[in-house]
Amino acid sequence: MRKFLMAAFGACAIAGAVAAPASADGMQPNIIGGHNASETYSFMVALSNGCGGSLVAPQWIVTANHCGSASQGRIGSVNRNSGGELGRIDRRITRSGTDLTLMHLATPARSAPVKMAQANPAPGGPVRLLGWGCTAWPSCPTPQTLQEIDLTVLPSSRCRAGGGGANDLCVSGDRTHSACHGDSGGPAVTGVRGDWTLVGETHGPGDNNGECATTTLYTGIAQHLSWIRQQTGI
């Protein structure tokens, strides 16, 4: 399937949902149905190759295999070019047959990692996507400020056409609320302010026709949790 190379998703939404509310700083929504981040996510990573990632341990980042390599990551900032802390990436480990990659930091990050899911969220439940992806399509302007959008989980079968399996995460989307190029490898999370759990890693469109205005397929974290723990020792 087509993956969102050098990107993934900064938005997706409940089919038929109303427009997202203004962000905490009063600005109007400016991703495809999303808005500026309402908090600083300590685990959010902006990789130097344009992808996103999630800090899951002091020296480990979860991201997408199709992102390729990155020399460093900016961790825990809502600005993709400043703030937070920079970590040098010295190696990567990919799980064979998947789009899941672990990137190792040369020195431990001070930022707090995100918890990882032990089970997928149930269909119909809420999920939040984070990223610096396109705020419109096909023109694809990209923001400096991290974007977020609250979405809904679909049955995994709804993303089967895009290559999704039974244990992957499928997220709703439409032409005005959609993830897009710019955040591959970035997180889908569940929880509440300051207490988030990583449930998915951005893989690509959920069907075999769409690009940005479609369902979103995320590699499910729960199905790979044992492997992640084995590789990272956490």
Residue-wise pLDDT tens digits, 180-227: 788 789 999 999 999 999 999 988 888 866 677 678 899 999 999 999
* pLDDT reading at 156 higher than 70: yes
| DSSP states along 92-152 | EEE-TTSSEEEEEESS--SSPPPEE-SSPPPTTSEEEEEE---SSTTT----SB-EEEEEE
> At residue 38, does pLDDT exceed 90?
yes
Strands 195-205 and 115-116: parallel
Complete DSSP assignment for 204-228: EESSSS-SSSS-EEEEESGGGHHHH
In this prediction, residue 134 carries a pLDDT of 84
Does the N-terminal peptide bond of residue 138 adopt cis geometry, omega within 30 degrees of 0? yes
- pLDDT value at position 18? 28
Q: Mean per-residue pLDDT for 31-49?
A: 90
Mean pLDDT of the chain: 85
Amino acid of residue 59? Q
pLDDT given for residue 137 in this prediction: 79
Q: Which residues pair with 128 in a beta bridge?
A: 150, 189
Amino acid identity for residue 44 in this structure:
M
What percentage of residues in the chain have a pLDDT greater than 70? 85
Residue type, 195: D
177 sits in which H/E element? none
Which of the four pLDDT bands, split at 50, 70 and 90, describes residue 12? Answer: very low
- Which residue's structure tokens are 């685990």? 43
Please tell me which residue, 66 or 26, carries the higher pLDDT value: 66
Residue-level pLDDT at 192: 96
Flag whether pLDDT at 27 surpasses 70.
no
Both tokens assigned to 19: 């427009």
Confidence of residue 30 (pLDDT cuts 50, 70, 90): very low
Give me the amino acid identity at 144.
Q
Q: Which tops the pLDDT comparison, 81 or 176?
A: 81
Give the pair of three-digit tokens for residue 3. 């993956």
pLDDT surpassing 90 at residue 15:
no
- Residue-level pLDDT at 175: 76
Phi/psi for 51 (5° steps) reads -90, 175
| pLDDT tens per residue across span 206-216 | 886 667 767 88
Considering the entire predicted model, what is its pTM? 0.86
Helices (H) and strands (E) in the chain, counts: 1, 14
Average the pLDDT over 52-69 and give the result: 95
Distances (CA, A) of 146 to 39, 71, 121, 214: 10, 20, 24, 21
> What are the tens digits of pLDDT across the range 74-125?
999 999 999 999 999 999 999 999 999 999 999 999 999 999 999 999 999 9
Distance (Å, whole) CA 226 – CA 234: 10
Phi/psi region, residue 34 (left: phi>0; alpha: psi -120 to 50; beta: rest), is beta
Residue type, 1: M
**Measuring CA to CA, which residue among 157, 167, 170, 163 is closest to residue 218?**
170
Structural domains for the chain: 44-113+225-232 (2.40.10.10), 115-222 (2.40.10.10)
